[in-house]
Amino acid sequence: MLALAAAALLAVLGVLAQPWWVERRRARLRAQPFAPAWRRILRRRVPAVAHLPADLQRRLKGHIQVFIAEKAFIGCQGQAITDEVRVTIAAQACLLLLGHARSACYPRLRQILVYPETFVTSRERPLGHGLVQEQRLSMAGESWSQGQVILSWSDVLAGAADPADGHNVVLHEFAHQVDQDSGVADGRPWRPNLGLRRRWASAMDAAFERLRLQPSEVIDSYGASDPAEFFAVVTELFFERPQALAAEAPAVYRELAGLYRVDPLAW
Ligand SMILES: [Zn+2]
């Protein structure tokens, strides 16, 4: 009986202690010196990093080290996985985590699949009466709720090269991951209380409906496809064209600043 109780206690402690072990491992990873070769990759490939305040640059480098240690990168169609691929993708993905000193680092994400160029994916479109049409689409990126993000390397490079054009496939797909952390991608990422959830919904829904009725010069019309795409598109703008987004949709900017816990207008 005593042995049984001891075993149960150990099992409970094991469950409780797990985050502590994980956090200790992450703290060690973050404390490691950032490799000079990785620093050069950031300078060459991810110019957005140089625009961040110094404390956020340090924090980003810590997040990159955790991300690369925890996530598997898989090359597809002959794409080689080099440090350049890992660091360029991780740096942009971790921009979304900058507001957190100790982030959970995309808890549901396990793998990043990288294609050399845009890749073809098929979708089934219901036509009614039980008929479906298979569509083949050329994609720069995709985010799955089962723990995968898929990216075209040439589009990753193009998105990073101009950090102020409002188009970035890594920010877009990882915004879907942030959204999917709370379940399905529905444009409703996790917010801590009902008041914030309501405020989020009213700001986002109003701006989404506005975009559906009238094209915007700032927000890409792709954002009008559904609330999940709207959230991903405005996330790209929040980090790459914060002034334009804050002027066009101040309530949306305020909600994103609350979610990501950063203020790119100040960078
Ligand atoms: Zn999308």
CA of 46 to the centre of ligand 1 (A): 21
Residue-level pLDDT at 1: 63
CA of 51 to the centre of ligand 1 (A): 26
CA distances from 123 to 22, 32, 93, 147, 221 (A): 38, 43, 26, 19, 21
3-class DSSP state of 53? coil
CA of 142 to the centre of ligand 1 (A): 7
CA of 196 to the centre of ligand 1 (A): 24
CA of 1 to the centre of ligand 1 (A): 55
Residue-level pLDDT at 18: 60
Residue-level pLDDT at 124: 81
CA of 154 to the centre of ligand 1 (A): 17
Residue-level pLDDT at 135: 81
CA of 228 to the centre of ligand 1 (A): 7
The span from the CA of 48 to the CA of 267, in Å, is 10
Each residue's pLDDT tens digit, 112-158: 999 999 999 887 877 888 888 888 888 999 999 899 999 999 999 99
Please answer whether residues 39 and 79 qualify as being in contact, where contact means their C-beta atoms are separated by less than 8 angstroms. Answer: no
CA of 178 to the centre of ligand 1 (A): 12
Lowest mean pLDDT, pick from 10-14, 150-154, 188-192, 253-257: 10-14
For residue 239, pLDDT over 60 is answered with: yes
CA of 172 to the centre of ligand 1 (A): 6
The helix (H) or strand (E) run that includes residue 39 is helix 36-45
CA of 261 to the centre of ligand 1 (A): 22
The span from the CA of 145 to the CA of 183, in Å, is 8
Long-range contacts of 26-34 (CB under 8 A, 24+ apart): 26/66, 26/102, 26/105, 27/102, 29/62, 29/65, 29/66, 29/69, 30/62, 30/63, 30/65, 30/66, 31/62, 32/65, 34/61, 34/64, 34/65
CA of 28 to the centre of ligand 1 (A): 34
Please answer whether residues 159 and 170 qualify as being in contact, where contact means their C-beta atoms are separated by less than 8 angstroms. Answer: yes
Please answer whether residues 117 and 152 qualify as being in contact, where contact means their C-beta atoms are separated by less than 8 angstroms. Answer: yes
CA of 87 to the centre of ligand 1 (A): 22
Q: How confident is residue 12, by pLDDT bands cut at 50, 70 and 90?
A: low
Mean pLDDT of the chain, nearest integer? 93
Please answer whether residues 241 and 260 qualify as being in contact, where contact means their C-beta atoms are separated by less than 8 angstroms. Answer: no
Each residue's pLDDT tens digit, 211-230: 999 999 999 999 999 999 99
CA of 20 to the centre of ligand 1 (A): 34
The span from the CA of 36 to the CA of 177, in Å, is 29
Phi, psi at 85, each rounded to 5°: -65, -50
CA of 192 to the centre of ligand 1 (A): 24
What burial letters (b/e) apply to 25-44, b meaning 16+ CB within 10 Å?
ebeebbeeebeeebeebbee
Lowest mean pLDDT, pick from 97-106, 173-182, 193-202, 257-266: 97-106
CA of 2 to the centre of ligand 1 (A): 54
User: Taking the CB of residue 138, how many other CB atoms lie within 10 A of it?
Assistant: 10
> HEC profile for 117-133?
CCEEEEEEEEEECCEEE
For residue 16, pLDDT over 60 is answered with: no
CA of 76 to the centre of ligand 1 (A): 20
Please answer whether residues 252 and 219 qualify as being in contact, where contact means their C-beta atoms are separated by less than 8 angstroms. Answer: no
Average of pLDDT values for 36-40? 98
